[in-house]
Structure 1
Amino acid sequence: MLVRLVSGLALINCLALAAGNPLLQDDGDEELTFIRDKRSSDVCKYSKGDWSTCNPLTKLETRQDRVRAGSSAADCPQTRTITRNCNKDKSLKPNSFKKGLCVYAKARDVDWSDCQNGVRQKLLKLLSSKPDAGCPNVKVISKKCKNKKAKKDDKSDKNVKKEKKRERKEKKAEKQKRKQEKKENKISEKCDFGNWSEFSACTNNKKSRSRQITRGGDLKICRKEATQIQQC
C-alpha cells in the first residue's frame, strides 16, 4: 500500500514538472516538497552598482543596478536607476558646489509617483538657473519601493521585542523586590536597633551614620545594617 502511494505521488510530480507546473519540486531525497512560484511580474531583484560622482547641476549621485536573471521575472527591466543627494557622500566637502546654479522645485512639495518596476520617482521642475549653466529642465529623484508588508512585519517584530524587554524588566524588578522583602523580614526577625545617629562630616565625598544593635550583635547581617553610608 505504501509503495503504491509513493509511486503515485512520484507520477503526479513528474506530470506536473512536464506541464511546467512550478508548484511541485522533487528535492532528490524521495520526499515531495511543495513550493510557491515567486517568479511573478512584480518580483524584480537587482544587484547594486557603484555610485557615480556628484552632478554639480542636480546635486545628485546616481547608481545603475542590474537585474538578477535567476531571481527575477522575465519581464523585469534589465537596469534600474537610483539617486541620492550628494551630501550623503562623506568624501565631499561642505558647500563644494555653487549655490543658485540650478534651482528646482522643493522635493517636499512634490509627491512620489506610483511604484513602477520597484522604483518611485519625483520629478522636480527647473525654476531658475544661471546663464549658460546647462541645467536639465527636470531633476529626477529615484528610490526603491518599500515592501509595506515587510515594513509592517518589521514593526510587528520590534513591538514583540519591546514587549519582551518590558516583561524581562518587570520580572527583574519583581525579583529584586522579593529579595529585598526577604532580607527585611530576616533582619526584623533577628535584629533590633536603637535610633540612628547624625551623619558624620563628609570624607572623600562620603558621609556615614550608625545605630546601636540591641539584639543580634553577633550576626553579620545585623552589624551590616547598623551602619549606613551615603554620597555627599
Structure 2
Amino acid sequence: MIHKIKHCWWMLAGVILISLAFASAEGEVWEEREHEVLIRSERGAKNRETCRYMRGAWSECDSKTNIRSRKLTLKKGNPASCEPVKTIQKKCKKACRYEKSSWSECSPNGEMSRTDLLKANSDPSCDQSRRITKKCNKNKQVKSTKDKGTY
C-alpha cells in the first residue's frame, strides 16, 4: 500500500515538472484578462520585463487554413524590449455546428442513431442535418426472447 502511495506522489511530481517545463519553454509567461494580455519575458534571473498588450478583435476564419488571428498592441512596457505588435493565431471552431438530438433505442441489429440539426449561426453551405449511427453498449442491446420453459 505504501509503495502505491509513493508511486502516486512520484507520478504527480513528474506531471508537475513536465507542466512547468512546457510553461517556461518559450521564456514567456502569459496572463489573459478581459481586454488585455500581460506577457512577462524571462531574460535572466533579475531582468523580468513586463509587457502589457491590448487585445484586438479576432479576424474572420480563413476557410483555407482554418485559422483566425488577433493582434496584440503594446499598451504598457518598454518599446525597446517589448514587441510593439504581436499576432496570435488559433484554429477556428468548426463551420458546421449541430444541435445534438437524443439517441434512439437500440435496434435488433445492435445499433442506435440520432439526427442532429444545423445550428442557426453555422455556415449556410453545411448540410441542414446529419445522421450519426453507433453500436449499442452490450448491456443496452435488445435481448431476444428465448423460451426458457414454463414453471
What's the TM-score, normalizing by structure 2? 0.34
Q: Work out which structure has the larger RCO, using CA pairs closer than 8 Å and 6 or more positions apart in sequence.
A: 2
Q: Which has the higher helix share?
A: 1
Larger radius of gyration: 1
